[in-house]
Amino acid sequence: MRPGMMRIAATCIALAALAAAPWWLGPYPQYVLSLWLIFALSAIGLNIPIGLGKIFSFGHGAFMLIGAYATAMPILYWNWPISAAIPAAVVLAAIVGIVIGLPALRLTSFSLAIVTLSFAFVLFQVVKAFDFTGGPQGLFMPDTALTRLLGGRAVHLLVFACFVAGFLGYWSLSRSKTGRALRVLGENPIVAQSLGVHLLYYRVLCLVLSAVYAALAGGLLALLTNYVGPETFSAELSVNMFAAVFIGGVGTLLGPILGALFVVLIPELFQSVQNLSQIIYAALFCLAATLFPGGLAEIASKTFTWLAGLARGRDAPVSVR
């Protein structure tokens, strides 16, 4: 079998195993797996502005918050079906992305960094302040037809489908004309402009696409946990999502998925306030930002090619970077 074929076969088996997880895993591992897929979806979305457009958005958690609350509130208050609530939440997040992005993206990336992080901070305060959004206690969602379907397994299938769609979406975007335009824009805005790339349009597009991914992930999170609370979406979440992409490897296909594993596993493995793992995570983030800009994906691929080189009895290939 050719190596390419083997890779495709391995991917298919892995995907099938992921999709069928509820039938061979216990309820808790299955829950963690669904969480991971949701955060991976969100991280893939954040990789569009960071990895392609080199636009650093520190407010990704805010769009997840919008997705979660905008999914939960219509279901809770007006009995909307899920099939209407999630798309509406996604559209709302996209509109908010435009409103936030238009003033900030006209300027330096510096202002964008501040505006997006402030946005996450403010939104967290706002949902905490109003009774309508559940205040500090948050909102508990009713059981819906979907959450009862197949003994709760349907939510996992939905999450899995959205994850695969999101992954394929990023994959095709990164190879399309738009993706190339974004890459040029990220490398050098002046060159991009002289090639006919409309800077503001593509920058806003980047942010809006990431908002769409985040809102979808937020809505799925609300469905999975049956609960929406402000503490889930504090400014930490935004920073953690950013760190996930950075630790995993900016601009790579698999990096954000790897990085999201950290965001999910850290609170799940160490469920206490005084949390040593958060320190390790932050230290890893510092390390990736300071010394290994390629992140885990770079380290993994280097190790892999090095091992492959060893297996073939040749010298390890020289690093490209």
Partner 1 sequence: MSGLIQALDLSTLVVGVLSGGLYALLALSIILIFRTTGVANFAQGELGTLSVFLLLFYILPTGMPVIPAWGLAILLAGIVSAIVYFILISPRPEAPHLNVTVRTLGLYMLLYAIAVFLWGGQEPYRVPSIFPSQSVNLGGVQVGYDQIGTLAVTAVAATVFLVLFRYTRLGLAMRAAAIDPTVAVLLGIDVRLIRLAAWVAAGMLGAIAALLIASSAFLETTMMRPYLFKAFTAAIMGGLTSFPGAIVGGLILGIADAFAVAGISIHMREPFTFAILLLTLLLRPAGLFGSVGRARV
- Are residues 181 and 209 in contact, defined by beta-carbon separation less than 8 angstroms? no
Contact status: 233 vs partner 1 (CB under 8 A): no
Phi, psi of 52 (to 5 degrees): -90, -55
Contact status: 271 vs partner 1 (CB under 8 A): no
User: Minimum distance from CB of 283 to partner 1 (Å)?
Assistant: 6
By C-beta, is 42 or 116 nearer to partner 1?
A: 116
| Window of 77-85, 146-154, 207-215, 282-290 that interacts with partner 1 by CB under 8 A | 282-290
Contact status: 103 vs partner 1 (CB under 8 A): yes
By C-beta, is 108 or 172 nearer to partner 1?
A: 108
Site for partner 1 in 37-56 (CB under 8 A): 54, 56
Record the tokens describing residue 85, joined without a space.
């609530």
Contact status: 122 vs partner 1 (CB under 8 A): yes
By C-beta, is 176 or 188 nearer to partner 1?
A: 188
| Cα separation, 53 vs 236, whole angstroms | 23
From 10, 286, 308, 310, residue interacting with partner 1 (rule: CB under 8 A): 286
Interior CA angle at 23 toward 22 and 25, to 5°? 65
Q: Count residues binding partner 1 (CB under 8 A).
A: 47
| Window of 164-172, 174-182, 210-218, 272-280 that interacts with partner 1 by CB under 8 A | 272-280
User: Minimum distance from CB of 14 to partner 1 (Å)?
Assistant: 31
Q: Shortest CA distance to 116 belongs to which of 57, 49, 54, 53?
A: 57
Q: Site map for partner 1, 60-99, x if CB under 8 A?
A: ----------------------------------------
Contact status: 190 vs partner 1 (CB under 8 A): no
Interface residues with partner 1 (CB under 8 A)?
54, 56, 58, 100, 103-104, 106-111, 113-115, 117-119, 121-122, 125-126, 129-130, 235-236, 239-240, 242-243, 246, 273-276, 278-279, 281-283, 285-286, 288-291, 293
